[in-house]
Amino acid sequence: MTKKQKKVLYRIIITIILMVALAWIPSKGVVRFVLYMVPYFVIGYDILRKAVKGIIKKQVFDENFLMAVATVGAIAIAITTDGDYMEAIAVMLFYQIGELFQSYAVGKSRKNISELMDIRPDYANVEVNGVLEQVDPDEVHVGSFIVIQPGEKIPLDGTIVEGNTTLNTSALTGESVPRDARLGDEVISGCINMTGLIKVKTSKEFGESTVSKILDLVENSSSKKSRSENFISRFAKYYTPAVCYSALALAILPPIVRMLFMGADPEWGVWVYRALAFLVTSCPCALVISIPLSFFAGIGGASREGILVKGSNYLEALSQAKYVVFDKTGTVTQGVFEVTGVYHNQIPQEELLEYAALAESYSTHPISKSLKKAYGKRLDMEKVSDVKEISGNGVTAQVLGKTVAVGNEKLMNALLISFEKTDAVGTIVYVAIDGRFVGSIVISDKVKPTAKEAMEALKRSGMKRLVMLTGDAKSVADSVAMELGIDEVHSELLPADKVTQVERLLEEKNAKEKLIFVGDGVNDAPVLSRADIGIAMGAIGSDAAIEAADIVLMDDNPLKIARAIQISKKCISIVYENIYFAIGVKLLCLLFVAIGIANMWFAIFADVGVMVIAVLNATRTLGIFNRTAKKENAHV
Amino acid sequence: MKKIYKIEVDCANCANKMEEAAKKTAGVKDAVVNFMTLKMNVEFEDGADIDSVMQEVIKNCKIVEDDCEIYL
């Protein structure tokens, strides 16, 4: 608890003691009044002061004003009848208890969220003349050598120059499986070094490093408010004056009507009392606090799982998503080319790959890289001679005294080699040895392992249509779409065509249904900003993507899209629960009070009770994330 | 020109009122106050003198909510 909260707590305790004591002390008239005023001022002085200040500054209608008028009024009634002062004190007391609970809950959520996002490194071990020195990460220059021991956070982005290790990236990506990092690998700040000591040459300053960018994004995710939040602030603005005037009407109109038209006793006391209880009931705190709290918990919880949402409006829009448009390369596929098959081979597969890899060994083309990777063993370059690159077609080379030709159909045709055509989808490399066709190797971009599961999860969560847009060839695109169960594919598109396609879909759909575009952030900026919700994935380190997207997925796992939608739905349902519950109960209580079946005690219990329930409900989101977080940590 | 300020305020409704007050200040194009993160995002009009505008913002916020703080 903060100092302020503790002070309120002491005041509450003192007031309760005084109230109990006063109940045992018999007193009358002025003495009684003075005695009871002691606990009243102990508990309510700040509210009275704020109410008076508000009136002086012409900012009349707020909760302080409501409480001040209600309690002063109740005391006035009590004076005239030498009646129950307890009521006024109790109203103040419970109001303060409610406020204390609220501020405690809010403070606790703030703390929880900041602990979840505890990725800020405190120091960096810089090597100066062979001696390690702990310095503020802010003071480390680009190109410095830093040492990270096991258990420490990587403070700055850089490249490993010494040592191998495994990294825990869960704080950044929500991914609990540790990642290996070897000499020469790039490492990003915010990861935790788990096993080995490494030395890193920094490549960015702290302000530019990944961890700073993420923290910036999370801490400033507040710049756009959701419709529900705006609704509540508008609601609160009109609501308080409205109830004040209603209360005034409740105090004045019925007695006048009774007096003039019914010829009955006006019963001023009864109606004024009801009006005061009406004021107590009406306090809008429950709504005003619980809605932003729910969104805050939602955004905070999502960021713990590596889903960074830039504003509560996007979280809200996400729950209404019905269309998901994907970019292909790098989003549903890995964007890395790999050997996916060997066909019609007349020599063993291993041997075929070895010949192909050797012939291509001098090339830096992505295809030769994937051949080398598929072969997997070290290549003895001395076995290769006389390499000729035939641009756009392939290579020929002497390998162990044999003439090896590796390339596409055109190369085979040019060399007059008859070959068997392969229907497989992807880039096809034909291999011939000494003028005789020995087999073909298919190289293609591999679909991400979780892509299919991700599409199924999206369908389950109520997506109407999944669309894939790609610049790639039709055959490749169609086969990927078929494999994953994507409804609609548009292939061979230029970047501008993607925007056109998204605009067409935006026009086709119902205005209430939202469209998500998911891209890997490369060349996607126009589409990302055109869609209702732009999601950039695998965006660690890509400034353009972080800038253009509304939601950033830290790792490149497409399953996270469905997870983000799930979180948003959960959060929005809690928001609506609170809106309906709080407004509903409030209106009902106002009615009870107006017709006289509820007194002021009931009113204050209703007010504080609704608020406590709404706040507890709002923090429920946070509770769920906390549990999953703990489970994950237990795994690590 | 956008800037983010840390603020100190006790209740959510007061934060909403601060937002209203900041929005109405001359030289401020738009303002958003987030109670949960205790941040005020202010977008200034082109060519506005940020320091003097912020002084006005503080003054206006103090009128609607006495118990608030904006850290410049």
Sequential DSSP letters for A367-403: HHHHHHHHH-SPP-GGGEEEEEEETTTEEEEEETTEE
Q: Which amino acid is at A200?
A: V
Question: How many helices (H) does chain A have, and how many strands (E)?
Answer: 20, 22
- B23 contact A CB<8A: no
A324: closest CA among A515, A521, A557? A515
Structural domain contains residue A137 = yes
Round the average pLDDT of chain A to a whole number and report it.
Answer: 84
pLDDT tens digits, residue range B42-62?
889 988 888 899 999 999 998
Indicate if the pLDDT at residue A164 is higher than 50: yes
Structural domain contains residue A529 = no
pLDDT tens digits, residue range A467-513?
999 877 788 888 888 889 999 999 888 878 888 999 999 998 888 89
pTM tops 0.80, yes or no = no
Structural domain contains residue A537 = no
Secondary structure letter of residue A365 according to DSSP: S
Check: CB of residue A548 under 8 Å from CB of residue A521.
yes
Kindly list the distances between the CA atom of residue A380 and the CA atoms of A299, A361, A375, in Å, as whole numbers in the listed order. Answer: 54, 9, 12
Q: How far apart are CA B16 and CA A501, in angstroms?
A: 40
Structural domain contains residue A24 = no
Indicate if the pLDDT at residue A221 is higher than 70: no
From the number of C-beta atoms within 10 Å of its C-beta (0-12, 13-18, 19+), residue A29 rates as exposed
From the number of C-beta atoms within 10 Å of its C-beta (0-12, 13-18, 19+), residue B21 rates as buried
Q: How far apart are CA A198 and CA A215, in angstroms?
A: 25
Q: How far apart are CA A339 and CA A319, in angstroms?
A: 39
pLDDT tens digits, residue range A558-589?
889 999 999 999 999 999 998 899 888 888 88
Question: Can you give the C-alpha Rg of chain B in angstroms?
Answer: 11
Q: What is the pLDDT of residue A490?
A: 92
Per the listing, tokens 């950044």 go with A172
CB contact under 8 A, A233 and B35: no
Give me the mean pLDDT over the A215-243 stretch. Answer: 78
Angle formed by the axes of helices A3-24 and A29-56, to 10°? 150
CB contact under 8 A, B37 and A222: yes
A431's tokens: 């291999």
- In chain B, the largest separation of any two C-alpha atoms, in whole Å, equals 33
CATH value at residue A175: 2.70.150.10
Structural domain contains residue A439 = yes
Q: What percent of chain A has pLDDT over 70?
A: 95
What's the pLDDT band for A636 if we cut at 50, 70, 90? Answer: very low
Check: CB of residue A600 under 8 Å from CB of residue A74.
yes
Indicate if the pLDDT at residue A630 is higher than 60: no
Given A432, A447, A462, the domain boundary residue is A447
Q: What is the pLDDT of residue A12?
A: 93
CB contact under 8 A, B13 and A109: no
Round the average pLDDT of chain B to a whole number and report it.
Answer: 87
Indicate if the pLDDT at residue A16 is higher than 80: yes
Structural domain contains residue A344 = yes
CB contact under 8 A, B34 and A222: yes
Q: Which amino acid is at A56?
A: I
Indicate if the pLDDT at residue A628 is higher than 60: no
Minimal CA separation from A288 to chain B, in Å = 6
Q: How far apart are CA A636 and CA A179, in angstroms?
A: 12
Q: How far apart are CA A488 and CA A468, in angstroms?
A: 6
Minimal CA separation from A448 to chain B, in Å = 36
Q: How far apart are CA A357 and CA A369, in angstroms?
A: 8
A374: closest CA among A441, A427, A426, A448? A441
Least confident of A43-57, A98-112, A168-182, B39-53: A168-182
Q: What is the pLDDT of residue A340?
A: 81
Per the listing, tokens 């295809």 go with A367
What's the pLDDT band for A635 if we cut at 50, 70, 90? Answer: very low
Q: How far apart are CA A326 and CA A482, in angstroms?
A: 14
Kindly list the distances between the CA atom of residue A589 and the CA atoms of A224, A274, A280, A562, A604, in Å, as whole numbers in the listed order. Answer: 34, 12, 10, 40, 10
Least confident of A400-409, A430-439, A543-552: A543-552
Kindly list the distances between the CA atom of residue A194 and the CA atoms of A115, A197, A214, B70, in Å, as whole numbers in the listed order. Answer: 20, 9, 21, 41
More confident site: A119 or A88 = A88
Q: What is the pLDDT of residue A67?
A: 86
CATH value at residue A372: 3.40.1110.10
Q: What is the pLDDT of residue B53?
A: 92
CB contact under 8 A, B32 and A222: yes
Bridge partners (DSSP) of residue A294 are: none
Check: CB of residue A136 under 8 Å from CB of residue A323.
no
Give me the mean pLDDT over the A9-34 stretch. Answer: 87
Bridge partners (DSSP) of residue B71 are: B6
CB contact under 8 A, A233 and B41: no
CB < 8 Å to A547, chain B: none
Q: How far apart are CA A39 and CA A92, in angstroms?
A: 10
Give me the mean pLDDT over the A367-393 stretch. Answer: 81
What's the pLDDT band for A539 if we cut at 50, 70, 90? Answer: low
Bridge partners (DSSP) of residue A389 are: A395
Catalytic residues of A: 327
pLDDT tens digits, residue range A110-162?
887 777 667 778 888 988 877 888 888 888 888 888 999 888 888 898 999 98
Structural domain contains residue A396 = yes
Candidate CATH numbers 3.30.1370.10, 3.30.70.2860, 3.30.70.100, 3.60.70.12; the one for domain B2-71: 3.30.70.100
Given A447, A475, A509, the domain boundary residue is A447
Indicate if the pLDDT at residue A623 is higher than 70: no
- A interface with B, Cβ–Cβ below 8 Å: 4, 50, 53, 57, 59, 62-63, 99, 102-103, 106, 109-110, 219-225, 233, 236-237, 284-285, 288-289, 292-293, 295-296
- B67 contact A CB<8A: yes
Give me the mean pLDDT over the B30-44 stretch. Answer: 87
Least confident of A142-151, A178-187, A281-290: A281-290
Interface list for B 28-57 with A (CB within 8 A): 32, 34-39, 41
**Listed ranges A96-105, A255-264, A286-295, A369-378; the one with the highest mean pLDDT:** A96-105
Tally of domains in chain A = 2
CB < 8 Å to B36, chain A: 106, 109-110, 222, 292-293, 295-296
Indicate if the pLDDT at residue A546 is higher than 80: no
Minimal CA separation from A555 to chain B, in Å = 25
Chains A & B: contacts with CB separation below 8 Å = 66
Q: How far apart are CA A421 and CA A408, in angstroms?
A: 11
**Full residue range of the structural domain in which residue A190 is found:** 124-155+157-203
Q: Tell which phi-psi region holds residue A315, choosing left (phi > 0), alpha (psi between -120 and 50) or beta.
A: alpha
Indicate if the pLDDT at residue A75 is higher than 80: yes
A605's tokens: 């219990």
pLDDT tens digits, residue range A408-432?
888 888 888 888 887 777 778 899 9
What's the pLDDT band for A349 if we cut at 50, 70, 90? Answer: confident
Q: How far apart are CA A207 and CA B15, in angstroms?
A: 29
What's the pLDDT band for A237 if we cut at 50, 70, 90? Answer: confident
- B26 contact A CB<8A: no
Check: CB of residue A407 under 8 Å from CB of residue A429.
yes
Alpha-helical runs (H) found in A133-260: 170-173, 210-219, 227-257
B61: closest CA among B30, B37, B27, B25? B25
What's the pLDDT band for A540 if we cut at 50, 70, 90? Answer: low
Domain spans in chain B, listed from the N-terminal domain onward: 2-71
Indicate if the pLDDT at residue A326 is higher than 70: yes
Structural domain contains residue A261 = no
CB contact under 8 A, B36 and A293: yes
Q: What is the pLDDT of residue A215?
A: 76
